[in-house]
Amino acid sequence: MGFFSRLFEGNKKTKKSFAEKLKYVFTGNDIDADFYEELEFSLLSSDIGTNATSLIIDKLKDKIKEEKIKSTDKAKDALKEIMVSILENAEATKVKTPAVIMVVGVNGVGKTTAIGKISNKLTKEGKKVIIAAADTFRAAASSQLEVWAERAKVKIIKSSEGADPASVVFDAISSAKAKNADYLIIDTAGRLHNKANLMEELKKISRVVEREYPEAEYHKTIVCDATTGQNALSQVKFFNEAVELTDIIITKLDGTAKGGFLLSVASDFNLPIRLVGVGETLEDLIEFNAKEFVDSII
């Protein structure tokens, strides 16, 4: 099954409700104030956010004027093009090895699960992966990661609960170097981005990677939950300020949530979307493709 046919499948419900909404928007034949107002509502209700929504609508207005678009059907195509063009910049480039991927995010977005799936995928591609259990805060976090490590058959470096996460990362880097690993994936504790002390801890972990493993391509990847609303932007902003994010992973897109904040992330932060989580199985973490993503929701 192709990557995005999976997304289509997972998103059937998403697609339906969004399509229904848009049908309502696009059945009127006049491109008038009502049309734009309804369009605005539709975009906002997909968690696209006020900034990206007005950006999209302004662009659509320009385009309708420029290309003398008269019908709402044509306007729909134009809308798709605009959304794709915003997201196209967000397609991720290939990772060069050796690489370190530090996975960060707020609590409960699915960081550990995503790491399990990534490790599995990379191992299947014949890559050598080591994971570092640097979430030493949450109860049983390293045990959870261990189960994933077993499933993916990768080595895990861990320490006791309450240990200094930076020291776990230090050990993991030594191991990655000694074993010539292609990927070192670091699981960090979920933290709310407005907690200064926890963000400082993250900076410290990040400094260890920069200092100890400069030869590796360093990815600082935020995981966001597709069911999140506008707070996703705040998350990206604060984590970006702390560790200069390099890419983003979206999880839980298999529900009815649209993950519309992705457009805001793309337009406001210029952050490549590395992977998209569309289901519960090991294979359900897929690469992002702008056109197919837009097609799956409109």
Partner 1 sequence: MSLLSGLGERLNHIFSKLKNKGKLTELEIKTAMREVRVALLEADVNFMVAKDFINKVTEKAIGEDILKSLTPGQQVIKIVRDELVSLMGETNAKLNVSPNPPTVILMCGLQGAGKTTMCAKLGYFLKKQGKKPLLVACDIYRPAAIEQLKIVGKSAGVDVFSEGTISPIKIAKDAIDYAKKYALDTVIIDTAGRLHIDEKLMQELEDIKKATNPTEILLTVDAMLGQDAVNVAKEFNEHLEITGVIVTKLDGDTRGGVALSVKAVTGKPIKMCGVGEKIGDLEPFYPDRMASRILGMGDVLTLIEKAQESVNQEELKKVEENLRKNTFTFDDFLIQFEQIKKMGNIADLVAMIPGLGAKVNASDIDETKLTKFKAIIQSMTKKERQNPDLIKASQKKRIAAGSGTTIQDVNQLMKQFEQTKQMVKNLSGRNMQRMFGRKINF
227 near partner 1 (CB under 8 A): yes
What is the rounded distance in angstroms from the CA atom of residue 182 to the CA atom of residue 115? Answer: 15
- Distance of closest approach, residue 178 Cβ to partner 1, in angstroms: 27
Please identify which residue in 123, 167, 175, 234 interacts with partner 1, judged by CB under 8 A. Answer: 234
247 near partner 1 (CB under 8 A): no
Is residue 48 a contact partner of residue 82, using CB atoms and an 8 Å limit? no
Alpha-carbon distances of 195 from 106, 201, 238, 280, 295, rounded to whole Å? 11, 10, 10, 30, 37
Q: What is the DSSP letter of 187?
A: E
Is residue 294 a contact partner of residue 83, using CB atoms and an 8 Å limit? yes
225 near partner 1 (CB under 8 A): yes
Q: Which residues contact 127 (CB under 8 A, 6 or more apart)?
A: 97, 182, 183
Q: 3-class DSSP state for residue 161?
A: coil
Residue 153, CB half-sphere, CA atoms under 13 Å: how many? 8
200 near partner 1 (CB under 8 A): yes
Amino acid at 293: F
Contact letters for partner 1, residues 158-177 (x by CB under 8 A): ---x----------------
- Distance of closest approach, residue 225 Cβ to partner 1, in angstroms: 6
Is residue 255 a contact partner of residue 91, using CB atoms and an 8 Å limit? no
- Distance of closest approach, residue 219 Cβ to partner 1, in angstroms: 22
50 near partner 1 (CB under 8 A): yes
- Distance of closest approach, residue 281 Cβ to partner 1, in angstroms: 13
Please identify which residue in 58, 73, 192, 211 interacts with partner 1, judged by CB under 8 A. Answer: 192
**Pairing relation of β-strands 247-251 and 273-277?**
parallel
108 near partner 1 (CB under 8 A): yes
147 near partner 1 (CB under 8 A): yes
Give residue for tokens 């390293």.
142
What is the rounded distance in angstroms from the CA atom of residue 23 to the CA atom of residue 45? Answer: 15
The size of the interface with partner 1 (CB under 8 A), counted in residues, is 47
Residue 230 or 240: the one with the smaller Cβ distance to partner 1 is 230
Where on the chain is the footprint of partner 1 (CB under 8 A)? 13, 41, 44-47, 49-50, 106-110, 137-141, 143-144, 146-148, 161, 192-196, 199-200, 225, 227-232, 234, 252, 254-258, 260-261
